[in-house]
Amino acid sequence: MTKTTKLITAALLLYTVAYAQPVDVYGYFEPQYNGIYSGDSYYQFQSNKLRVDLKSTAIANTEFGADVIFLLYHGKTDWDILDFLPAELTSTIPPLLRPFYSFRFEDTLYLDNVYARFALNRFAVTAGKQQISLGTGYFANPTDIFNTKDALDPTYEQPGHNAIRVDLQALPRLNLMALYSPVESDFESSGKMLRAKLGIGHFDISLLGCETQYTSTDFYTFEQTQERRHILGGDIVGELIGMGIWAEGIYNFFEDTEDGYEFLIGTDYTFDSGLYTMLEYHHNSLAKSDHEDYDLNDWMRFFTGETKTITSDQVYALLQYPLTDMLTIGSSAVLSVSDMSAAIIPMLQYSLFQNIELTLVGNIYIGEEGTAYSSSLGNGGFVRASVYF
Amino acid sequence: MILLHVSLAAILPSGQLTAQEEMTADEILKTLTETMNPEQSHGTMTMTIVTSSGQERTFKYETFSKDKGDKSLMKYLEPQRVKGQTILMLNDANDIWTYFPRTKRVRKLATHAKKQKVEGSDFSYEDMGASDAFIEEYNALRLNDENKEGRSCYKIELTRKAESNASYSRVMLWIDKENFIPLVVDYYHEDDPELHEKQLVCHDVELIEDIYTPMDCTMFNKLDNTYTKMHIVDITYQVDLADDLFTEMGMQR
């Protein structure tokens, strides 16, 4: 079945449901303008995103949900990753291979989520393409093997993933979750996860175990290797002496390659003035601690999301202040402790109208060439209007 | 701390007027606190934020409350921007969780988050929850009775206890003698007991299912020159809400 056929089938199914049962239709339209200074050049590109959600709860205890995303791109849509990397890494790449490091933002239309959820009081089963959010961290979530966060916009919605998820509330504050993600062709290779979440006092504590396939690409030869990956991890969130605290971490047991671990700890506090402050520390043992050692594979795996970070140690700080009832200003900063590069990310959110929100985010990279937040990665930002309907 | 419901059963018969007149500040506060939170409730409310420049934002949400306000859940219905967002408060708002349907993420907030504004309004999470905060966090003193909003009222001054982390250093209450509804509540700044920060005014009291209910409350922010109006669209107290509603799974239902 082609992609187009799948979309048409899904649309027809939804149309049928829409006629038979009441369906909520909602979503948003989101034009976004991005600008980047790179070297002596200024590049701009725009995206127009339309997300249409459909949801039906007409059948008792059951929810059918789907959303379609239309994305149109304008401006500079062709990019060459090598333009942003140190010359000593890119100079060794044969000219014939260079096109493989280019990519284009192409107009797309796709089903982001489509799922059915059956829920009784303490039990729920969700099957289909669905959003999966795991972990307590803000800037990064080591326990979330499905998603990678963007440092510029860590709270933005994540894509849907194919999965069957079962949730059971065994006790008022004990939740069990089993998840099967049939991403591979057979059961053995597909992802499986078990999680128990327990509330004790002011704390929520989760423990999880996971088995999944890990794909690694050699970006010199574009060959992919796969291996089994077993994960043990957990997270905790609560408060201590009036401050919010949280932590999450995982240990990766790889079948063929070296094991590794990743963790994040964080704290936050709201001052009487309304000023919100947050600090997080993130460590990834699978990333490198010396930027002199970053190679092409490290950069490409980071850019493509195969690895979550290129640098092993990062500190994330966030300040947010509600200047008025409609306007929130703030800034975040990420410091790569390993190579002492940093990104400063000022932001502004304004409630323009009842259902229209304006977001401005900047990014200023401060770092030598070859570091995680090198200024050669380009400075700029984006303006986004979110129009909800 | 937002005082919306007062049980008719709690109101003293007229024959006990003398005893009522002799009530101490603690007794008045206890009666108010015991009666302002009915055993259970389920309703729909609107919250309208009005800025100093006259801009308005209106939110509509469904509320559920159980165990005399110990457990409460708010689910936004409008506008579309926040539809489905849910706030769960347990243990008198000492434990707060928020659910964001767009990201399917549940986030637990620490106690300090109670100081944050709810959707940019003049109500903080602390104002919306903490049903027994007046008793737990403050020392009460009865002052001379006064008329307020055309009604005969008890006047109570609350001073924050030394060990308390409450957001207001001092609170003044004018409580209707007839139905124990706090008609006016003045909140003073955390660091300055003389700095008038907010004022809550409740009116349009209706008798619903034998419970006096102020249908409209307005919180004025004296420092920012903004205000937020809260209106009860509908409410019932004759409900039997399941405990499962006040859980992480209940938030996502």
Each residue of A286-342: pLDDT tens digit? 998 888 889 889 999 998 888 888 999 999 999 999 998 889 999 999 999 988 999
In angstroms, how far is CA A134 from the centroid of its own chain? Answer: 11
> Tens of pLDDT along A15-51?
555 565 678 999 999 999 999 998 889 999 999 999 9
The span from the CA of A139 to the CA of A153, in Å, is 9
Give the residue on A whose Cα is nearest the Cα of B189: A272
A131 in contact with B, Cβ within 8 Å: yes
The span from the CA of B71 to the CA of B246, in Å, is 7
Distances (CA, A) of B55 to B50, B79, B201, B227: 6, 15, 21, 11
User: How does DSSP classify residue A61?
Assistant: T
* Number of helical H runs and strand E runs in chain A: 3, 20
Chain B residues contacting A via beta carbons under 8 Å: 49, 51-52, 55, 57-58, 79-81, 83, 94-95, 102-105, 108-113, 115-117, 120-122, 165, 167, 190-191, 224, 226, 242-244, 247-249, 252-253
Q: Which of A122, A155, A276 sits opposite B244 (nearest CB)?
A: A122
Give the residue on B whose Cα is nearest the Cα of A138: B107
Distances (CA, A) of A170 to A196, A197, A269, B105, B149: 10, 10, 32, 20, 50
A154 in contact with B, Cβ within 8 Å: no
Residue A9's pLDDT band (cuts 50, 70, 90): low
Contact A197 B190 (CB under 8 A): no
A269 forms bridges with which residues in the sheet?
A: A277
């490409």: which residue's tokens? A300
What radius of gyration do chain A's Cα atoms show? 22
Q: Which of A276, A351, A388 sits opposite B116 (nearest CB)?
A: A276
Contact A389 B243 (CB under 8 A): no
Give the residue on A whose Cα is nearest the Cα of B227: A325
Contact B249 A268 (CB under 8 A): no
Give the residue on B whose Cα is nearest the Cα of A204: B108
Angle at B98 (CA atoms; ends B97, B103), nearest 5 degrees: 135
Measured between beta carbons, the chain A residues lying within 8 angstroms of B243 are 172
Contact B224 A132 (CB under 8 A): no
Contact A243 B112 (CB under 8 A): yes
Contact A274 B117 (CB under 8 A): yes
The span from the CA of B87 to the CA of B96, in Å, is 7
Global pTM value: 0.86
φ/ψ of residue B248, rounded to 5: -60, -40
Q: What is the per-residue pLDDT for B8? A: 36
* pLDDT score of A382 more than 60: yes
Give the residue on B whose Cα is nearest the Cα of A351: B57
């149109």: which residue's tokens? A72
The ipTM (two decimal places) reads: 0.84
The span from the CA of A282 to the CA of A338, in Å, is 11
How far is the alpha carbon of B80 from chain A, nearest alpha carbon, in Å?
A: 6
Closest CA relative to residue B121, chosen from B229, B231, B43 = B229
A310 in contact with B, Cβ within 8 Å: no
Those residues whose C-beta lies under 8 Å from the C-beta of residue A165, and which sit 6 or more positions away, are A124, A125, A126, A127, A130, A132, A177, A178, A179, A180
Q: Is A232 exposed, middle or buried (0-12, 13-18, 19+ CB in 10 A)?
A: middle
Q: Which of B81, B111, B224 sits opposite A242 (nearest CB)?
A: B111
Provide the 10 A C-beta neighbour count for residue A206: 20
Q: What is the per-residue pLDDT for A21? A: 63
The torsion of the CA quartet A14, A19, A24, A30, rounded to 10 degrees, works out to: 50
Closest CA relative to residue A376, chosen from A85, A143, A118, A144 = A85
How far is the alpha carbon of A49 from chain B, nearest alpha carbon, in Å?
A: 15
One-letter amino acid at B64 equals F
Measured between beta carbons, the chain A residues lying within 8 angstroms of B252 are 124
One-letter amino acid at A106 equals E
Measured between beta carbons, the chain A residues lying within 8 angstroms of B80 are 26, 28, 355, 388-389
Give the residue on A whose Cα is nearest the Cα of B58: A354
Residue A5's pLDDT band (cuts 50, 70, 90): very low
Q: What is the per-residue pLDDT for A106? A: 94
Mean pLDDT over each residue of chain A, to the nearest integer: 90
Contact A325 B58 (CB under 8 A): no
One-letter amino acid at B32 equals L
Give the residue on B whose Cα is nearest the Cα of A197: B248
Q: What is the per-residue pLDDT for B6? A: 39
Q: Which of B57, B58, B112 sits opposite A269 (nearest CB)?
A: B112
Q: What is the per-residue pLDDT for B128? A: 78
**Interface with chain A: mutation pick from B49, B50, B81, B111, highest number of A CBs within 10 Å:** B81
Contact A242 B105 (CB under 8 A): no
Those residues whose C-beta lies under 8 Å from the C-beta of residue A207, and which sit 6 or more positions away, are A195, A196, A233, A234
CB B26 within 8 A of CB B41: no
User: How does DSSP classify residue B110?
Assistant: P
Helix H segments across chain B?
Answer: 17-21, 25-36, 125-128, 133-137, 248-251
Helix H segments across B112-197?
Answer: 125-128, 133-137
Surface of A (243-262) touching B: CB under 8 A: 243-245
In angstroms, how far is CA A379 from the centroid of its own chain? Answer: 21
DSSP for A190-207 reads: SEEEEEEEEEETTEEEEE
How far is the alpha carbon of A126 from chain B, nearest alpha carbon, in Å?
A: 12
Give the residue on B whose Cα is nearest the Cα of A62: B253
The span from the CA of B97 to the CA of B90, in Å, is 9
CB A12 within 8 A of CB A371: no
Q: What is the per-residue pLDDT for B55? A: 85
One-letter amino acid at B5 equals H
Q: Provide mean pLDDT across the span A142-162.
A: 91
CA terminus-to-terminus distance, chain A = 32
A277 in contact with B, Cβ within 8 Å: no
The span from the CA of A131 to the CA of B127, in Å, is 33
The span from the CA of B73 to the CA of B83, in Å, is 14
Measured between beta carbons, the chain B residues lying within 8 angstroms of A140 are none
Residues of chain B short of pLDDT 70, as ranges, are: 1-21, 129-131
Give the residue on A whose Cα is nearest the Cα of B253: A119
């949730």: which residue's tokens? A167
Angle at A383 (CA atoms; ends A161, A112), nearest 5 degrees: 15
How far is the alpha carbon of B225 from chain A, nearest alpha carbon, in Å?
A: 10
Q: What is the per-residue pLDDT for A251? A: 97
How far is the alpha carbon of B43 from chain A, nearest alpha carbon, in Å?
A: 21
